[in-house]
Chains A and B, each alone.
Chain A
Amino acid sequence: MQNNLLSGLKEHENKLLTIWSQLLIDGGSDDGAVEEEESKEFASLFLKAAAAAEGKIQDSQEFEKVEDLIVGIASSRGKRGFSPRENAQYLITFKEAASKILSELIKDPEQLFDANLQLNAALDNMTILTFEAFMRGREDIISRQVDEISEISTPVITVWEGVVALPIIGTLDSSRTQIVMENLLQQIVDTGSSIAILDISGVPAVDSLVAQHLIKTVSATRLMGAECIISGIRPEIAQTVVHLGIDLTGIITKASLASALKTAFDMLQLSVVKRKIV
C-alpha cells in the first residue's frame, strides 16, 4: 500500500508559497506574473487534493477541481497576454518549490523519489492542460474573427435602380461563396433588381474551384430571372482562367465596374448624357 507521501506538504503551504513566488521572480517573470490570489487558491486546492488522495493524485475527485482551476487560470492569463511558456513556467516553478520542501520533509531517498514521481506526474499533466487551454482560447478568437470577416465582407450595394453590385475582396472558398451567393440572391429578391454585377477586382487569384463557384453564382442568378455580369477581371486572372481551360464564354465579363455598369445601363435601355450648358 502506497502511503500518501505528498500529504506532508499541506502543513507547509505558506512556506511553499514563499519559495514559489521567490522562484517565479528569480525565473525572470515580472512581478505581475505572480498573481497572489490565484496562486494561493491553486496551491491550497492542489495541496488539499494531494492530502485527500489515496494512491495517485490524478484519480481523486478533488483533483478535477484543481484541473478546472488551472484551465481557468491558463486561459485568463492567455487573454492577458502571457505566453504559453510563461504559463508552463508558472507550474514548473511550483513543482520545483514543492520538491524542495519534499526533500526537507522526507529523508528516505527511496520515498523521496516516489514522492517526486507522484508530484511530477500530477503537475506534468496540468502543464499539458495549460497548453490546451491556451490553444483553445486562441482558436476561439480565430473562429470568431472568421465569422466576423465573412459577415462584413459581402456587402451588396444598390448602384442604380434595378442594378446591384457585390464587390468581392479576398479569397473565395466554398463557405464564403455560399454566403456571397445567398446574400446576392436575397438582395436581388428584396430590391427586385434585374442585373447583378459581381466585381472580383479584389480577388487575388482564381483557381478552377473559384471559377466553378463564380459560374454557379451566375447560373443561380439567371435561374432567378436576373442577369449577372462579372467585372474586374485582371490580366493575370484572365490568363489563369484560359490556361485552366475554364469556359466563361456564356457569362458576360467586363474589365471594370464602370464598363459593367455601362453594360447594365444599355440592358435597361438607359443612357447617361452630359448636360449641355446653355
Chain B
Amino acid sequence: MERIPILKMGDFLLVTIQVDLYDQLAENLESDLINTISKHSSKGVLIDISAVSIIDSFMGRILGNIAVMSKIMDAQTVVVGMQPAVAITLVELGLSLNGVISALNVEKGMDLLRSKMQISDNEEQDYDDDIE
C-alpha cells in the first residue's frame, strides 16, 4: 500500500507530501504520524505541502486534526510551502486551520520550530528555577 514517508530529524519529524493526497492516504498519514511521534517522542512536526496543488475540505480537516493531535502529544506542527491557490481555496471553504502554524518554506519552518522549542525549554527552566 502506498504510504507517505515520515523522516526523523533529531527532535523533529519531516513529512514531504509529493503526491496529490487522496482520502485513504491522508488517513494513513494521520495515524502513521501520530504513532511515529509517540515512538520517538518528537517535539515538532514539519509538513511540506509545496507540491500539493489541491486540498479539499476533508484534507483541510485532516491537517487540522494532525495539528491538534500532535499538540496533545506535545509536538508542535508547522505546515510549510502552501500554494497561493490552496490558501485561497481553504479560506473560501471557511477553513482557516486555526491550530496550524504556517511558514513559507522548509527553512523558515525549521527556524520557527527551533524558536518554539527554545521558548518551551526556557519555560521549563523557569519552572525548575521556581521550584528550587
Binding site for B on A (CB under 8 A): 178, 181-182, 185-186, 188-189, 192-194, 216, 219-226
Contact = CB atoms under 8 A, between A and B. Distances in A.
Contact of A194 (B82, B90, B104): B104
Nearest to A191: B104
Contacts of A189: 83-84, 104
Nearest to B78: A225
Given A192-B104, A194-B104, A222 B96 contact: yes
A225 B103 CA distance: 4
A226 B88 contact: no
Most buried by B among A188, A193, A221, A225: A225
Interface in B64-112: 79-88, 90-92, 96-97, 100-105, 108-109
Contacts of A219: 91, 96
A274 B126 CA distance: 37
Nearest to A185: B84
Interface residues of B, number: 23
Contact of A222 (B102, B105, B108): B102
Contacts of B82: 223-225
29 contacts: A181-B84, A181-B88, A182-B84, A185-B84, A185-B87, A186-B84, A188-B104, A194-B108, A216-B92, A220-B84, A220-B88, A221-B87, A222-B96, A223-B79, A223-B82, A223-B97, A223-B100, A223-B102, A224-B87, A224-B102, A225-B79, A225-B80, A225-B81, A225-B101, A225-B102, A225-B105, A225-B109, A226-B102, A226-B104
Contacts of B102: 222-226
A223 B91 contact: yes
A182 B88 contact: yes
B104 A224 contact: yes
B10 to A, nearest CB: 22
Nearest to B112: A225
Contacts of A224: 82, 84, 87, 102, 104
Nearest to B89: A220
A192 B92 CA distance: 23
A185 B104 CA distance: 11
> Which 4 A-B residue pairings sit nearest by Cβ, starting from the closest?
A185-B84, A225-B102, A225-B103, A220-B87
B96 A223 contact: yes
Nearest to A181: B88
